[in-house]
Structure 1
Amino acid sequence: MAAVWGALLTDSSRAFSQKLSPPPQSIGREVFSLNIVNLEYGVIWPTVPFFSWRNFHSAWEKIESRPGQWNFFQLDQDISLAEKQQVEILLQLVTIPQWAKLDGRIDLACRESSQPNEEPPICQSTLWKNYVRTVATRYKGRVHAYELWNEPNVKEFFTGTVSDLVTLNRIAYQTLKEIDPTILVVSSSLTRLNPRTLEYLKEFFKQGGGQFADVMSHHFYPAPDPPETMLNFIQSFHSLMREHGVYKPVWNTETGWNMLNRDRNQITEHWAGPSLNDELSQAYMARTYLLSWASGIERVYWYAWGHRSMGMTEHDGKRPKAIATAFSEIQHWIVGSQMKNCRNTPDHTWVCKLFRNGQPQWIIWNAQRHVPFHLPPSWKPSRLKYLDGRVEMFLGQPTIDIGPVPILLERIAP
């Protein structure tokens, strides 16, 4: 087996079934971001380090439930809290309230009245622009990033056409840039949970949707399957971008799984499958961040801190779970390092090679089972680190046991 591994590591073109080429820059802390929910219901502030908070309280229907009646109470609190905690906030510009719809539907055309002295119909595009302008003006200089709509390829969130979505994005993008050219505009985040997502995305790009954003975003949910299953879709996403001349950073603003709680289990997201135990929760989270960066995804917002069934906290929202420790630990492992490559073998063993301060380090796991891993003699690691925070000095053993939870092997400079 050692000889086999030696061959694998010296001839990757033949032995590795998949090799990912990460971005050349060092991994920044902004990669690790969070969706945070239910703070207003007693969920504690995250006990883990993170860069950006994706916030849902900026939805149009939440802050202007009736025409001209604005309520910024909760959103003002959130933004003040983000500033106090020194984290960036990503606001969603999303939803059209019922009062702004025509017969309960989306119709962005602005028409003249057909009869004298008759009030013109509601012009949704003008109302949308006013909503965007009102929010961005209120928080100018305090909020620097906005996301344009959430999962519009799911009828629960959007009932308009692709053309409608492109129009909404164009209006929002132009309005935001007029108010503050430095605002970072994040595109509408589709979800691969819709089986026709790639068709929708292709039409979105074809109609020019890629022009009206600084960052392209998607929800690369692999749940209920393991993280590795998202890789082919990510490659297809990048291919569609290139095909339509869209060369911009890519973010994943939502991803996660159902995870077991110790106090109460109440699955609300049945599409995400059975709840993961602590080991798999930690494993899937760490592998998601490693494989995302290796695939050119520059920021991942985990879903979610405070969620009742997909949360990093127990159901009560007050006690962090094991995944929270792992979320902190994986940041210690990779933030500030440079990932050279990430590749796997036919037996589902993955090896990600990184460099920190000129010294190599390796993160390894097997996506399916526990197997013996024969260390190449050239590695010469100094110690092993685990996602639960344990550290072991390397004693020169030729083989270590690996499984679904990634392990870090690092070499310390003499």
Structure 2
Amino acid sequence: MNVHAKFCFASLLVALVAGCGGGGADSTSDADGQAAGAATDAAQSKSAAGQTDIAPDPGSDTAVFTEAPIQVPPGDDEAYTAAASPSTVTASASTQSPGSAAEDFESGFTSLPAGWSINWWGTRPNYTVGPETRSGYTHAGAGALRLQVGTVASNSGLNLVYSRGISKAGSYDAQAYLRTDNANGANVEVQLRRNAAPYDVVARKQLVLGTSWQKVHLSAAYPFPDAGSLRVVSLTANANVYIDDVAISPMASAEAVANAVVLPAAGGSSVEVTPVKTTTMDEAYTTYAPGWTYNYWGPQKPTFSASRETEPGHVYAGAASQKFQITNKNGGEVQLVSRYAFTKGKTYRAVVYLRSDVATPVQVTMRRDTQPYDNFAAKSVTVDTNWQKVEIEGTYLATSDGSMRIALKNASGTLWVDEAVIAEVKRNDFAPYNASAAIPDTLFGMHVNKLGTHDKWPGMSTRILRLWNTGTTWRDLEPTQDGWNWTTGGGMRMDMYVNYVARNAPGAQILYTLGQTPLWASSTPDVNGQYGMGSSGVPRNMDDWRDYVRTLARRYVGKIRYWEIWNEPDYVPHYNGTPAQMVEMTRIAREELLAADPANKIVSPGLTKGQGMQFLDYFFAAGGGNYVDMVGYHWYYWIDPEMVGPMVDNLRVLMTTYGLQAKPIWMTEGAFYCDTTQTDCSTATPTLEQSRSTNARAMFTMAVKGVANFNFHVWEASDAFRQLVQADFITQTEAGKAYAEARSWAFGARVVDSFRAGSGVYVVRLTRGGVDSFVLWSTVDGETVAIPGAWNVNTVRSITQTESPLPSTRQLRLGLEPVLLKP
């Protein structure tokens, strides 16, 4: 999955149109028998001058890739055969013999060998095409083909077309080798496409070429009675693309199934626990047990010591325990640490026995040991003179080493540690959280932040709107004490949003995020928060906070049902108070909200995946879980959105620690974003497949994991990763169309089974009205799967809203874009 594609979005649109339209064509075959000369001499340069215009063919799917349908003259994509001389045309569908086709570019030709053509439409691009014979520029043998395409105008396109091998309905396998000599790489798309309207693309793959040969492999069911073709689309202007050793062949049923991942009819739920690091503390040592050490930080070194303890009563099992004593933290922190090379994506359980000589608050964690030093499991306990077992569990999401850690919360204290085990936990980690419950409507949420510059509703089955960054915070509504104004400013916007939801989606809900203290009410008015001076501070007088919550609760009885206590309080620019103070604010808010309307529901503060787990642990330890109905969190996902699943698992483990596992998890904010820890975001651009698939895969992962709410942030975003709608706030982007389609698959359904298979295949079984359907995708591009006979399905629907019969082989080649199998 490439995210370093450096072509602009406009160029990407052009390339996509190229995969859909037919168009003008140039004579492409040369059968004069003369040997090809050097590439610079033999390549035939094409421009608008002196070329015969052939009417381009319209494609109904062109509208899918542009803001409005492309208006082109009627025609037929096979018109280019009529322009070629009779001795060199590619055989038409009626005369072409079924079977394999191959091209090694070894025969002499001037521009293109027989069976190859250039198909363009719109404004004819400049291009050169011809044989390549230079050493190093052929994959095998003495010849290859070179293609260079200049800048392609909007609503125009150009394809290099191979029209042999796909003559009728069947399953086909195609491969080709490509490279470039462009030092910055070259972007291309390879397609298997129908030649006749509506020009269906049955398989496509985008890749970034380097100076080494790359093999591209496509296979797909081709359900149409007329001919198709393999097409190469150059997406980088003026870059040389070299093509060699192209082959297309029909797939035999037995061969296809034999090479496929055979999917089970259903998933499993068994659990296997395997210890990977065990320390009994009985080993011979003076200060720290083998595999254990310390980690400190702060303004000066803390005063602490460690030793092997054998005194009776201070050993849980065996001959000894680890004693750890802190005399003074000196304003810093020191922790007892057991390092381990955790593996990304695996689930781990840590168990340790602790005691102290007095009641001592302790936190046990597992975390990443590089920035941002985030915990993936945590538990806070109070340890006394009785040995206490502490168990934590979580899934590791990083690629660097991590550690298990034990921290005393007080500035001094003594702790004894024994029988520490880190174990790997294996289970069907993609099993449905609750197979008996329907996917709630609140999963289909959205942020709309530019209301007023437009009045458009996002559609996409949106059933809840979160109000954040909408000009409706506390400081917007009450800029001076008791200075409420409902006719201008924040008050006007608040009413505008409430009416907007009621008008466009009757029955849809609103989630309002409380917080952002006005300057006059802040306990830290001199601190510049994210939203202005004093905004991150705890209210100086909790009665002011109570009045704010009461005013809104009474005004919007029956209109706002869900209330989030604060936005990302683990991020200091948003909140500089303590978790205990946040608990008190939550308690007060709950009193006022339920007094106004007992049907109101309270969502815990929405926390980030950075330091959110630690803040939430402290929040729960201080009793915050008693005052919330849902637990809120924020997850932004990269090109591996399936990792949202382990994040949810880790959160639920923490909730279970405090007996809160029955409370719904609300992902109140998130979206597809560029992860600066994974790539250079100044140049990264998602591929088409990533744009269309990532939000859908994240949503299905959330549905599987029982997440009850997700609010995409934001509908009007304009960056390449998040953009769902064009600047007119009407026309959906490709990502928006795909996300809307995926939501339609899930809306009103129930996840009854789900699992992973092969190297990266995900399966989600949905049921609606007694009818089952299956959503499949693979994080390994080109993974072929065999569909179980027990599944009553015969139709494949793509995320681009095209449908085709399930091949008779009952095998499919999957990629990032989910497909829906249905009866």
**TM-score grouping bracket, smaller chain normalisation:** 0.7 to 0.9
Does structure 2 retain, via aligned residues, the 8 Å contact 1:105–1:159? no
Match of 2:651 among 227, 237, 256: 237
> 2:481 maps to what in 1?
67
SS state at 1:153 partner: coil
> 2:768 maps to what in 1?
356
Deviates more, 1:309-318 or 1:72-81: 309-318
Q: 1:34: Cα distance to partner?
A: 0.9
- Hey, what's the Cα distance between the residues in 1 that align with 2:583 and 2:780? 41
Instruction: Say if 1:16 and 1:369 are closer, same or farther in 2 by CA, change over 3 A.
Output: farther
Instruction: Say if 1:69 and 1:227 are closer, same or farther in 2 by CA, change over 3 A.
Output: same
Does structure 2 retain, via aligned residues, the 8 Å contact 1:58–1:93? no
> 2:821 maps to what in 1?
409
Q: 1:19: Cα distance to partner?
A: 3.2
Instruction: Say if 1:176 and 1:274 are closer, same or farther in 2 by CA, change over 3 A.
Output: farther
Does structure 2 retain, via aligned residues, the 8 Å contact 1:43–1:318? no
Match of 1:291 among 681, 684, 701: 701
SS state at 2:497 partner: helix
Q: 1:374: Cα distance to partner?
A: 2.1
- Hey, what's the Cα distance between the residues in 2 that align with 1:317 and 1:258? 20
> 2:16 maps to what in 1?
none
Match of 2:692 among 255, 258, 282: 282
Name the aligned partner's letter for residue 585 of structure 2: L
Does structure 2 retain, via aligned residues, the 8 Å contact 1:343–1:350? yes
Identify, as 1 or 2, the structure richer in helix: 1
Match of 1:302 among 712, 726, 742: 712
**2:530 equivalent to 1:126:** no
- Hey, what's the Cα distance between the residues in 1 that align with 2:263 and 2:673? 39
Match of 2:514 among 93, 98, 113: 93
**2:665 equivalent to 1:250:** yes
- Hey, what's the Cα distance between the residues in 2 that align with 1:138 and 1:19? 43
**2:577 equivalent to 1:160:** yes
> 1:203 maps to what in 2?
618
> 1:102 maps to what in 2?
523
Deviates more, 1:322-331 or 1:162-171: 322-331
Match of 1:190 among 603, 607, 629: 607
1:13-32 maps to which residues of 2 (within 5 A)? 18-23=429-434, 24-32=436-444
CA-atom RMSD in angstroms = 2.7
> 2:627 maps to what in 1?
212
Does structure 2 retain, via aligned residues, the 8 Å contact 1:191–1:218? yes
- Hey, what's the Cα distance between the residues in 2 that align with 1:256 and 1:374? 32
SS state at 1:191 partner: coil
Q: 1:339: Cα distance to partner?
A: 1.3
Instruction: Say if 1:97 and 1:273 are closer, same or farther in 2 by CA, change over 3 A.
Output: farther
Q: 1:256: Cα distance to partner?
A: 0.4
Instruction: Say if 1:43 and 1:279 are closer, same or farther in 2 by CA, change over 3 A.
Output: farther
Name the aligned partner's letter for residue 714 of structure 2: A
Q: RCO (CA 8 Å, sep 6+): is it higher in 1 or 2?
A: 1
Gaps of 5+ in 1: 107-121, 260-269
- Hey, what's the Cα distance between the residues in 1 that align with 2:559 and 2:570? 30
- Hey, what's the Cα distance between the residues in 1 that align with 2:791 and 2:596? 53
Residues 255-298 of structure 1, C-alpha deviations (whole Å, 9 max, x = no match): 10249xxxxxxxxxx98994434431221111111111111211
- Hey, what's the Cα distance between the residues in 1 that align with 2:786 and 2:599? 50
- Hey, what's the Cα distance between the residues in 2 that align with 1:228 and 1:46? 25
Residues 344-367 of structure 1, C-alpha deviations (whole Å, 9 max, x = no match): 125011111222333332111112
Q: Percent identity?
A: 23
Instruction: Say if 1:277 and 1:225 are closer, same or farther in 2 by CA, change over 3 A.
Output: closer
Q: 1:141: Cα distance to partner?
A: 2.2
> 1:266 maps to what in 2?
none
Does structure 1 retain, via aligned residues, the 8 Å contact 2:267–2:428? no
Q: 1:384: Cα distance to partner?
A: 0.9
Instruction: Say if 1:331 and 1:283 are closer, same or farther in 2 by CA, change over 3 A.
Output: same
Match of 2:553 among 120, 123, 136: 136
Identify, as 1 or 2, the structure richer in strand: 2
Name the aligned partner's letter for residue 762 of structure 2: W
Q: What is the number of residues matched between the two proteins?
A: 383
Match of 1:228 among 623, 642, 647: 642
- Hey, what's the Cα distance between the residues in 2 that align with 1:188 and 1:234? 16
SS state at 2:498 partner: helix
Tell me which structure has the larger Cα radius of gyration.
Answer: 2
> 2:239 maps to what in 1?
none
SS state at 1:20 partner: coil
Instruction: Say if 1:150 and 1:274 are closer, same or farther in 2 by CA, change over 3 A.
Output: farther
Q: 1:60: Cα distance to partner?
A: 0.2
